[in-house]
Amino acid sequence: MKEDISIPNGSSSWLERRFELTKNGTNPKTEILAGLTTFVTMAYILFVNPITLEAAGMDKGAVFMATALASALTTLLMGLYANYPFALAPGMGLNAYFAYVMVGNVGLSWQAALGAVFISGIIGIIVTLTGLRELLINAIPMPLKHAMGAGIGMFIAFIGLKNAGIIVASEATYLDLGNLAEPGPLLAVIGLVIMAILTARRVKGGILLGIIITTIIGIPMGITKFPSSIISLPPSLAPTLFKLNIREVMQISLFPVVFSLFFTDMFDSIGTFVGVASRTGMIDKEGKLERGNKALFVDFIGTVLGSLMGTSTITTYVESTAGVSEGGRTGLTAVVVAIMFAASIIFSPIALAVPGEAVAPALILVGVFMSSSLNKINFNDFYEAFPAFLTIIMMPFSFSISFGLAIGFVAYVAVMLLGGRGKEVHWIMYALAVIFILYFAVIR
């Protein structure tokens, strides 16, 4: 039985028409809660991205504004146009590639690096409008799609464990258990226990409530630092707004850089779309993504908008699974996230008060939810099990969704072709396998 939501009839009917809430088995309260949950789990990008791009010589305050505004506008477009519960922001990993590879190693100016981001976004829009990008998704066999969901879950959990300090680097064993007696890891463990209990007892909004409780517990532990003021004037966007340099990047020698940027963005977002959508029922029995072209179009529009404002590649966030796990099923979830990103421009001190140790347990828990797609893979069938297994383990091991996909795709084509079942493979998969092999052999 659905909950009675106290909302004016006019507003309720508009929300119903716009987002088809009943059709998707949800309601305004659930969508709002899901949006808040997604925002809290990805709000870290508001302070991580400025620090990362500052290493490229960019103005930290301007990058903060670009991050918040580009994320808000693109996520709003995702909600209103595509009606997906997905949130977008500058991609982690892609921002490091921008700062440390394109600017640090290749030697581009940050203005030219923004130009490269712009060009990669335009290429993506063209690919999407021609229908090729959606064709790519529809060509992926269902076992690999389920593997993407599980792999992304493992990847998210790994990030959570790493950020919490529960696992640390080790020269002897590569990974080791962190010092759980230290305040940071200890708080993360406490938060994980709290969220697990709330989730097990089916408390609505358990993840968000757990983050809030963990943040409060962090105060006497000296981890949560409340700012001196609740609001602050937004910094100027002028130092980065429209400062991209397209001419500098229009050289043949830089084509591999642009291609790599486009390549990584495209397959990161494809993996995220399929993995998250598999938990919303938006993928039909034939493996097709409903309204996929609209959602994919928004993803690259965000990249173009972000480059104009002054930030690295915008992409769909795997943290969207946190909101989906709380029941988010429509674009209303994304709209709530967009509002929160916009509000963060003024209320940034509050958004930054949540410590990473309070967010990390949510990522670990989401990893558990995402791993449920494992039971949809037939591990007794080697043709399914081998490429699916490689896809799943290589995402966290390589710390890259796109690399996990690449290895899984090549393995799938190879085992099907050499096993005498090559005719069952979509021609797109053959093309992708060749591209991935060339990418690793020549560019990477």
> What letter would DSSP give residue 205?
T
Q: Which residue has the higher pLDDT, 371 or 68?
A: 68
**pLDDT at residue 403 in the model:** 80
Of 316, 39, 352, the residue nearest 225 (C-alpha): 352
**pLDDT at residue 391 in the model:** 92
Predicted confidence (pLDDT) at residue 99 exceeds the cutoff of 70:
yes
**pLDDT at residue 252 in the model:** 54
* Of 89-93, 147-151, 227-231, minimum mean pLDDT range: 227-231
**pLDDT at residue 97 in the model:** 80
Distance in angstroms (rounded) separating the CA atoms of residues 41 and 211: 9
Find the mean pLDDT for residues 10-22.
79
State pLDDT tens for residues 283-322: 666 666 666 678 888 999 999 999 999 999 999 988 888 8
Distance in angstroms (rounded) separating the CA atoms of residues 424 and 346: 54
> What letter would DSSP give residue 373?
G
Predicted confidence (pLDDT) at residue 4 exceeds the cutoff of 50:
no
Find the mean pLDDT for residues 85-92.
91
* Of 177-191, 251-265, 347-361, minimum mean pLDDT range: 251-265
Residues 206 and 196: beta-carbon distance below 8 Å:
no
Q: What is the dihedral of CA 340, 367, 159, 348, to 10 degrees?
A: 10
* Residue 3 pLDDT level (bands cut at 50, 70, 90): very low
**pLDDT at residue 7 in the model:** 55
Residues 389 and 220: beta-carbon distance below 8 Å:
no
**pLDDT at residue 406 in the model:** 85
Residues in CB range of 200: below 8 A, 6 or more apart: none
* Residue 280 pLDDT level (bands cut at 50, 70, 90): low
Distance in angstroms (rounded) separating the CA atoms of residues 342 and 196: 31
* Of 158-162, 191-195, 367-371, minimum mean pLDDT range: 367-371
Q: Which residues sit opposite 168 in a β-bridge? A: 176
Q: Which residues sit opposite 169 in a β-bridge? A: 175
Which helix (H) or strand (E) covers residue 167, if one does?
strand 167-170
* Residue 30 pLDDT level (bands cut at 50, 70, 90): very high
Q: Is 94 left (phi over 0), alpha (psi -120 to 50) or beta?
A: alpha
Read off φ and ψ for residue 155, nearest 5 degrees.
-65, -45
Q: Is 47 left (phi over 0), alpha (psi -120 to 50) or beta?
A: alpha
Distance in angstroms (rounded) separating the CA atoms of residues 99 and 330: 34
How is 227-289 classified by DSSP, letter by letter?
-S-S--PPPPSTTTTT---HHHH-SGGGHHHHHHHHHHHHHHHHHHHHHHHTTTT-B-TTSPB
Find the mean pLDDT for residues 173-186.
92
Cβ atoms within 10 A of the Cβ of 176, count?
Answer: 12
Find the mean pLDDT for residues 404-416.
92
Distance in angstroms (rounded) separating the CA atoms of residues 335 and 203: 24
**pLDDT at residue 254 in the model:** 64
Find the mean pLDDT for residues 373-393.
92
* Residue 12 pLDDT level (bands cut at 50, 70, 90): low
Q: pTM (2 decimals)? A: 0.72
